[in-house]
């Protein structure tokens, strides 16, 4: 049936040819099941059966009392669709409710009350089942809404007085107390205490996350076994949870190209069905010299048989279910359009740093000309790097701490940083330089051949080689640093290929050797290296020029232009970054690539279900229309029409509980 239950939020205008309210019911609350539609359907059935019983009871005035019961059945089953049809007509719209009301009124006009009651009962039953199915797809949003507590315990004053206040009254900077087993009421940072948090409802991450001072927490997450104080970092109206809810609501409200295509021809189609029914009425009456009853009956059967209810609802039923299922597993589609687009993608491009890799380099090798000097060389390099702000300084210092290297306690003298080359200083009177070859060219310090050879060997292996030179003979070496590939990266790419993704491309601003080393380990198909952010956009356009449907996966921060340029932009770690929620079309809420095959699987399955529904719905229309020329009873036409609608709705609803395959 042509009913759509839309979530609240910022909705687009309803299309000119379709009314969005389920037949047989008023506008349904998203938070409550469609009880009124079920009651109306039950009353319609009860009054219809009562009318049949009275008619054949043989009592006085049996026909009158039976007709009265049938009128009551008409009111129960037809009042909702009548309201919907009249409201649509006032706006100049046409919908399937109008076709059903015309058919039911026609049945009553020719005295065939039972056929009309059966028609309205089946129509109302289908509407109630469909409304219940759509209610199931929105329950994931309702579950999210219920996650955030209505009240919080605010801590204020020097004596840390605590009092319960509405969450909406809190402001950024306030401190709240969260006890064991409570849900966090706000987004914020832990300022005191240690605990763990269950964030599975937001990110899909099943493992509890340890929290200590400085850790970020999210509204709706469950606190573990410790009491903590949390300082608000966002207004209660703009928490990650609230933004997720808004995004899912907006996604469910938007229409895919398939839906828009179906709705574009619905108005002329309804007019065509009404016209064809009128022509059938006249043609049967004239050509076969039939009674007006028979001619009208044939026209009503055709009107019901040709109604496009299953076609119209076939796509939204699937898309709403798919979006709800994905949200349950920490994958946010910002619109049904992107869900459908991802289902057609055959090329996925990955940003390297922070996506295929952890984005946190570590020291992989410490090489010294004399191996016994390696600890001293690392200590000297770390002592100099203490003054550096370069990202690679942190892993060197971390490695020195891990190995127990003793750093100089004397002040570092003559420290200089050369952008893009490295740093040098004097440590305990020893000149120490750490960086690339160009750093030592500026100091006319010749590099030993063994050092150059070892550096090239490490770079060929995909590592960054930082040369360490001193003014002492034989005391030189290399500290090699590399970003670490995510443990799940290779399995994720293998799963994507099993799902039918034809090409995996790595885009990186790093050297080609590093990019190729990463690609070999994760088994990517292509590498495009040395790219600036704007050059990544150019590469994506080149991929799309090959008639490929391209998705881009990144962290949503430094690759925002590429995410925007791709057919589908996918950002990771959306629970922790506002940027990812803004720029991406699809957001993986947890910082884990394994959610990506799940998103692709859901989108491809949804596209298959839409095709199944469209084929089945058009086939049923064809069968019913042909059968209408061979004395198809009106009630059987209604049963086939409404039955096909219920089938396509529940075919979409299956997405909510279908077992997940082993993906990655």
Is the confidence at residue 440, as pLDDT, over 50? yes
Query: What strands lie across the sheet with 347-351, from one edge to the other?
Result: 331-333, 586-588, 568-572, 550-554, 347-351, 503-507, 526-528
635 versus 592: the higher-pLDDT residue is 592
Q: What is the mean pLDDT of residues 60-78?
A: 87
What integer is the mean pLDDT of 343-365?
A: 89
Neighbours of 370 (CB within 10 A): 12
Average pLDDT over residues 645-664: 85
d(CA 141, CA 127): 22
Q: What is the pLDDT of residue 343?
A: 93
Q: Which one of 2.70.150.10, 3.40.50.1110, 3.10.28.10, 3.40.50.300 gives the CATH number of domain 149-238?
A: 2.70.150.10
- Does the domain at 362-482 match CATH 3.40.1110.10? Answer given as yes
- Of 294-308, 567-581, 616-630, the least confident: 567-581
Q: Which helix (H) or strand (E) holds 430?
A: strand 430-435
**pLDDT at residue 580 greater than cutoff 90:** no
**More confident of the two residues 119 and 470:** 470
- Residue 660 binned pLDDT confidence (cut-offs 50, 70, 90): confident
Q: What's the pLDDT at 469?
A: 93
User: Residue 637's Cα: distance from chain center in Å?
Assistant: 39
pLDDT digit string, tens, across residues 405-419: 889 888 889 998 887
Q: What are the angstrom distances between the C-alpha of 625 and each of 277, 330, 387, 647?
A: 11, 44, 82, 19
Spell out the long-range contacts of 459-462 with Cβ–Cβ below 8 A and sequence spacing 24 or more: 459/511, 459/513, 459/514, 460/513, 461/517, 462/513, 462/514, 462/516, 462/517, 462/518
592 catalytic residue (yes or no): no
Is the pLDDT confidence value at 545 over 50? yes
pLDDT at residue 32 tops 70: no
Asked if residue 397 lies in contact with residue 387, where contact means CB atoms within 8 angstroms, the answer is no
* Averaged pLDDT, 109-121: 80
Greatest mean pLDDT among 115-124, 270-279, 365-374, 632-641: 365-374
> In this structure, what token pair is assigned to residue 459?
């770079």
Q: So what's the pLDDT on residue 60? A: 67
Confidence at residue 22, expressed as pLDDT on a 0 to 100 scale: 34
Q: Which residues contact 322 (CB under 8 A, 6 or more apart)?
A: 333, 339, 602, 603, 605, 606, 655
Give the model confidence (pLDDT) of 455-502 as tens digits.
Answer: 999 988 888 899 999 988 889 999 999 888 999 999 999 999 999 999
Q: What would the mean pLDDT of 602-631 be, rounded to a whole number?
A: 90
Average pLDDT value for residue range 534-558? 84
78: nearest Cα among 21, 2, 114, 24: 24
The mean per-residue pLDDT over the stretch 143-158 comes to: 83
pLDDT at 444 (0 to 100): 76
Please say if the pLDDT value at position 576 is more than 60. Answer: no
pLDDT at residue 455, as a whole number: 92
In the chain, domain spans: 35-143+246-326+603-656, 149-238, 331-358+485-589, 362-482
* 331-358+485-589 topology per CATH: Rossmann fold (3.40.50)
User: Residue range 424-452: average pLDDT?
Assistant: 88
pLDDT at 257 over 50: yes
CA distance 391 to 250: 39
**Closest to 306 in 3D by CA, of 96, 18, 517, 580:** 96
Residue tagged active-site, from 351, 483, 510, 591 = 351
Q: Higher confidence at residue 16 or residue 414?
A: 414
Question: Which of the pair, 474 or 420, is modelled with greater confidence?
Answer: 474
| 362-482 matches 331-358+485-589 in CATH topology | no
Categorize the per-residue pLDDT at 88 as very low, low, confident or very high, splitting at 50, 70 and 90.
Answer: confident
Mean pLDDT confidence for 384-402: 88
Q: What is the pLDDT of residue 254?
A: 61
Look at residues 307, 306, 317, 305 and name the one whose alpha carbon lies nearest to residue 258.
317
Query: What does the mean pLDDT of the chain come to?
Result: 82
Per the model's pLDDT, the better-predicted residue between 198 and 595 turns out to be 595
The model's confidence at residue 556, banded by pLDDT at 50, 70 and 90, is low
Whole-number Å distance between alpha carbons of 24 and 129: 11
CA distances from 659 to 134, 488, 602 (A): 20, 21, 11
């Amino acid at each position: 049936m042509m009913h759509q239950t839309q979530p609240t939020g910022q909705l687009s205008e309803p299309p000119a040819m379709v009314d969005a309210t389920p037949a047989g019911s008023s506008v349904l609350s998203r938070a409550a099941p469609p009880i009124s539609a079920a009651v109306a359907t039950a009353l319609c059935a009860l009054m219809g059966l009562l009318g049949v019983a009275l008619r054949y009871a043989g009592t006085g005035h049996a026909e009158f009392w039976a007709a009265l019961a049938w009128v009551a059945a008409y009111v129960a089953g037809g009042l909702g669709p009548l309201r919907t049809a009249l409201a649509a007509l006032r706006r100049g719209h046409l919908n399937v409710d109008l076709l059903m009301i015309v058919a039911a009124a026609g049945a009553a006009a020719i005295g065939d009350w039972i056929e009309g009651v059966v028609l309205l009962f089946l129509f109302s039953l289908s509407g109630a089942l469909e409304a219940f199915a759509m209610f199931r797809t929105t329950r994931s949003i309702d579950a999210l809404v219920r996650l955030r507590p209505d009240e919080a315990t605010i801590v204020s004053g020097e004596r840390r007085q605590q009092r319960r206040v509405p969450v909406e009254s809190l402001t950024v900077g306030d401190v709240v107390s969260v006890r064991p087993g409570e849900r966090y009421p706000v987004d914020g940072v832990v300022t005191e205490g240690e605990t763990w948090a269950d964030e599975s409802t937001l990110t899909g991450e099943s493992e509890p996350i340890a929290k200590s001072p400085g850790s970020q927490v999210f509204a709706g997450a469950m606190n573990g076994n410790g009491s903590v104080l949390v300082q608000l970092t966002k207004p209660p109206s703009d928490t990650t949870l609230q933004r997720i809810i808004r995004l899912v609501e907006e996604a469910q409200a938007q229409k895919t190209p398939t839906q828009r295509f179906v709705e574009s021809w619905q108005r002329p189609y309804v007019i065509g069905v009404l016209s064809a029914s009128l022509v059938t009425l006249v043609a049967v009456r004239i050509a076969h010299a039939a009674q007006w009853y028979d001619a009208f009956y044939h026209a009503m059967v055709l009107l019901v048989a040709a109604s496009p209810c299953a076609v119209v609802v076939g796509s939204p039923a699937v898309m709403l279910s798919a979006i709800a299922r994905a949200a349950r597993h920490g994958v946010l589609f910002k619109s049904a359009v992107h869900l459908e687009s991802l289902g057609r993608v055959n090329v996925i491009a990955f940003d390297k740093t922070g996506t295929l890799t952890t984005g946190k380099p570590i020291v992989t090798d410490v090489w010294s000309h004399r191996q016994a000097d390696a600890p001293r060389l690392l200590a000297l390099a770390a002592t100099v790097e203490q003054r550096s702000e370069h990202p690679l300084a942190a892993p060197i210092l971390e490695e020195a701490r891990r190995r127990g290297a003793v750093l100089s306690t004397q002040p570092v003298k003559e420290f200089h940083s050369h952008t893009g080359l490295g740093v040098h200083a004097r440590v305990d009177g020893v000149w120490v330089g750490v960086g690339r070859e160009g750093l030592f060219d500026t100091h006319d310090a010749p590099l030993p051949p063994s050092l150059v050879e070892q550096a090239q060997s490490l770079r060929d292996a995909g590592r960054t080689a930082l040369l360490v030179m001193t003014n002492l003979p034989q005391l030189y070496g290399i500290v090699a640093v590399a970003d670490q590939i995510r443990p799940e990266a290779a399995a994720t790419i293998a799963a994507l290929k099993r799902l039918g993704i034809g090409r995996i491309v790595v885009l990186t601003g790093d050297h080609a050797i590093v990019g190729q080393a990463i690609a070999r380990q994760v088994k990517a198909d292509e590498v495009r290296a040395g790219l600036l952010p704007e050059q990544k956009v150019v590469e994506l356009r080149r991929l799309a020029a090959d008639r490929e449907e391209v998705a881009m996966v990144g962290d949503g921060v430094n690759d925002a232009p590429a995410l925007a340029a791709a057919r589908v932009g996918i950002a990771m770690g959306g629970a922790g970054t506002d940027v990812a929620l803004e720029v991406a079309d699809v957001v993986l809420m947890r910082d884990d690539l394994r959610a990506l095959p799940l998103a692709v699987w859901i989108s491809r399955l949804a596209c298959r279900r839409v095709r199944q529904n469209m084929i089945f719905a058009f086939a049923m229309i064809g069968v019913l229309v042909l059968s209408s020329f061979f004395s198809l009873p009106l009630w059987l036409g209604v049963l086939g029409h409404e039955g096909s609608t219920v089938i396509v709705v529940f075919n979409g609803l299956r997405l909510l509980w279908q077992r997940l395959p082993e993906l990655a």
